[in-house]
Amino acid sequence: MIALLLSILASTTILVVFKLFERFKINNFQAIVVNYIVAGTFGFLLQGDTEKMATLHQFSWFYYALALGSFFISIFFLMALTTQRSGLSVVSVATKMSVVIPIIFGLLYYKESLGILKGIGILLALFAVYLASIKNKHGLTIQKKNLIFPLLVFLGSGIIDTGIKFIEEGFVAPEDVAIFSSTLFYAAGSIGLLALLVQKLKGTLKFETKSILGGIALGIPNFFSLYFLVGALRSDIMESSGIFTVNNIGIVTLSTFVAILLFKEKLIPKNWLGIILALVSIGLIALSKM
């Protein structure tokens, strides 16, 4: 349970840092590339086993981690594009609703249980995510020509969570979680550095020093959000379908309260209803384990 709570806390910290990026006019993409390098380096330092670092390519999960890490930053590009075309709320709903993909994977592939309480809890969680993420009275508005972008964000985010579960379950030893996480982040960071290099060659790159500070502030909680999520998935508190649901709902709920306290955001009635449903869904999923 502690690992799950720490993962929720770390993920909420990421959202707070992103909010500060907006306030201090930090270049999102530059800071995110730095963040991946910082997160990867932090994991290698935490691992502290130089012999394993020198033989990374021999691990059975290595190439899976490279592919999944590359997917990380690809989805970021899609999220940025979707935000520009359809707004932040659309991205928020697409990423959080994607939890349905690892849930279905857990139920079908790992034959996880789906009782009445857990089923109702998951459905309420999905409604809660939608209601808590909408910041206007009219709901989401997406032009038909832009519908493909949130759909790809939805699928990509779900594939990432599912991939993490599949790889850590089948290939990663408990003592290698830190180095596995680092490899994911380094793979993402490498793609980002290539993109920055292309910008440099084109003469369009104007790197800002504050991007480094932003990347450091983002990289440490980013590493721990993944590290503790893997730890929660390895625990026996509940099955992965429950872990992913509670994790997403916990992030939505906690980040909403943080936004109220730190950034003085105002909630509309449907947001409060979403929070109530979120708490009820967590309670139902917890009860399904008893």
Q: Residue 13: its pLDDT value, please?
A: 93
Question: pLDDT tens across 223-257, in order?
Answer: 999 999 999 999 888 899 999 999 999 998 898 88
- Interacting residues of 20 by C-beta distance below 8 A, sequence separation 6+: 26, 214, 217
Q: Check whether 172 has a pLDDT greater than 80.
A: yes
Question: pLDDT tens across 116-159, in order?
Answer: 999 999 999 999 988 888 877 776 677 777 788 889 999 999 99
> For residues 223 and 42, is the Cβ–Cβ distance under 8 A?
yes
Q: Does residue 142 come out as left (phi exceeding 0), alpha (psi in the -120 to 50 range) or beta?
A: beta
> For residues 192 and 29, is the Cβ–Cβ distance under 8 A?
yes
C-alpha dist (Å) from residue 181 to 31, 268, 281: 19, 38, 29
Question: pLDDT tens across 5-35, in order?
Answer: 999 999 999 988 988 888 888 988 899 999 9
Distance CA 160, CA 276 (A): 28
Distance CA 211, CA 232 (A): 31
C-alpha dist (Å) from residue 165 to 64, 96, 109, 205: 12, 17, 11, 36
Q: How far is CA 62 from the centre of its chain?
A: 21
Q: Both tokens of residue 14?
A: 């990421």
> For residues 233 and 102, is the Cβ–Cβ distance under 8 A?
no
Q: Residue 290: its pLDDT value, please?
A: 59
Question: pLDDT tens across 88-122, in order?
Answer: 678 888 888 899 999 999 999 999 988 899 999 99
- Interacting residues of 181 by C-beta distance below 8 A, sequence separation 6+: 39, 43, 223, 226, 227, 230
Q: CB neighbours (10 Å) of residue 269?
A: 9
In percent, the amount of the chain with pLDDT more than 90 equals 54
Note the pTM of the prediction, 2 decimals: 0.90
Distance CA 196, CA 111 (A): 43
Rounded average pLDDT over 153-167: 93
- Reduce the DSSP state of residue 55 to 3 states and report it: coil
Q: Both tokens of residue 255?
A: 């980040």
Q: How far is CA 219 from the centre of its chain?
A: 13
- Average pLDDT over all residues of the chain: 89
How far apart, in Å, do the first and last CA atoms of the chain sit? 15
pLDDT bracket for residue 188 (50, 70, 90): very high
Q: Report the amino acid identity of residue 21.
A: F
